[in-house]
Amino acid sequence: EKTNVAPKGGQHPEWDDEFRFPVYADPGKDRANRTLEVACYKQESKAEDVLLGKGTVDIEETLKTGEFDDWVQLETSAGARGELYLEMTFYANSPPP
């Protein structure tokens, strides 16, 4: 999924988009279903969009507590590129244990 473009966002773009993703059970398999990757791009009109930075979030703790509200470090192969503030809420389909 992706947000709408923040035209003239400059150094401090803001988004307030909501996305919903299913989170599948992970019975003893690899942790592929427990990592969220976020990335920021600069939109180019006549060329491919430019990656500004990307980061990953381990959502295992969010699945237990129900909430995530923190900064995510963004990086490229050239190093650190800033941070993205991310809020997540997890709602389980089953009743609590």
Q: What is the pLDDT of residues 1-59, one digit of tens each?
A: 888 888 777 777 888 888 888 887 766 665 667 889 999 988 888 889 889 999 999 99
For residue 8, tell me if it sits in a domain.
no
The rounded distance, in Å, linking the Cα atoms of 57 and 76 is 16
Which tokens is 6 given? 């923040």
Domain limits at 41? 29-89
Q: Where are the alpha helices (DSSP H) in the chain?
A: 60-65
The domain tally of the chain equals 1
The rounded distance, in Å, linking the Cα atoms of 59 and 38 is 12
Phi, psi of 67 (to 5 degrees): -145, 150
For residue 61, tell me if it sits in a domain.
yes
For residue 41, tell me if it sits in a domain.
yes
pTM of the model as a whole: 0.76
pLDDT per position as a tens digit, 51-92? 999 999 999 899 889 999 999 999 999 999 899 999 999 988
For residue 1, tell me if it sits in a domain.
no
